[in-house]
Amino acid sequence: MGGARDAGWVAAGLLLGAGACYCIYRLTRGQRRGGRGLRLRPSRSAEDLTNGSCDDVLNAEQLQKLLYLVESTEDPVIIERALVTLGNNAAFSANQVIIRELGGIPIVGSKINDPNHSIKEKALNALNNLSVNVENQIKIKVQVLKLLLNLSENPAMTEGLLGAQVDSSFLSLYDGHMAKEILLRVLTLFQNIDNCLKKEGHLAVQPTFTKGSLFFLLYGEECAQKMRALVNHHDADVKEKVTIIPKF
């Protein structure tokens, strides 16, 4: 059950392509928009902040308390409630900036790997709302790639990942001008998937993946050209990572 839900989130993110990889999952209730009837709250204790309604807009001090709560507590109920409150507040543009400047994106992003699926869901919803801000997007792609990397290490997830329908813009993640951190992650993603395929014997038989799937993107000529170009990348770590992948 857990694996199926993870695959669904990943497939949703891949389907949106590189430009929207950060939107890996969206709750059916959607984002809360608009600014009517909003109330600013006075300062309260961190745990009290998790009991508020979604019509409350928190200030920077209160948001910092919530982020500290997410980072420091081990109580899953409190973490989930704090993420819900952060997600509600992240629907508003001013708080999208504040949460980023407080270092909140990595804190929220760290919870997408939580074994508790409800916590993971709330973290993804908060990241989705934060991703409306353009400056937040690159930080959130990084967080989603961490989730993809974890899943790609599991052979049981390989078929679901490769079968996902993916926009061709996903391959822009392999462009040489991409940030080193992103390049190393997407190259490791390819390496993990390639290793899992070999273990499962899929590369020795006729693939069953449809055209437009991640499989056809990663093992197509356009991706091969990008990989060959990365062999001459100016960064030694990127060059080494490419050469580790036997195909290239």
Nearest to 98 by CA among 108, 89, 106: 89
Residue type, 151: L
CB contact at 8 A, 33 and 68: no
Nearest to 60 by CA among 88, 40, 38, 31: 40
pTM above 0.85, yes or no: no
Q: What is the pLDDT of residue 21?
A: 38
Q: What is the pLDDT of residue 211?
A: 85
pLDDT tens-digit map of 138-196? 777 777 777 788 878 888 888 888 888 777 878 888 999 888 888 998 999 999 988 88
pLDDT tens-digit map of 64-107? 999 999 999 999 999 999 999 999 999 999 999 999 999 999 89
In the beta sheet, which residues pair with residue 41?
none
**40 by DSSP, 3-state: which?**
strand
The helix (run of H) or strand (run of E) holding residue 57 is strand 56-57
Q: What is the pLDDT of residue 109?
A: 86
**Which residue has 């919870």 as its token pair?**
111
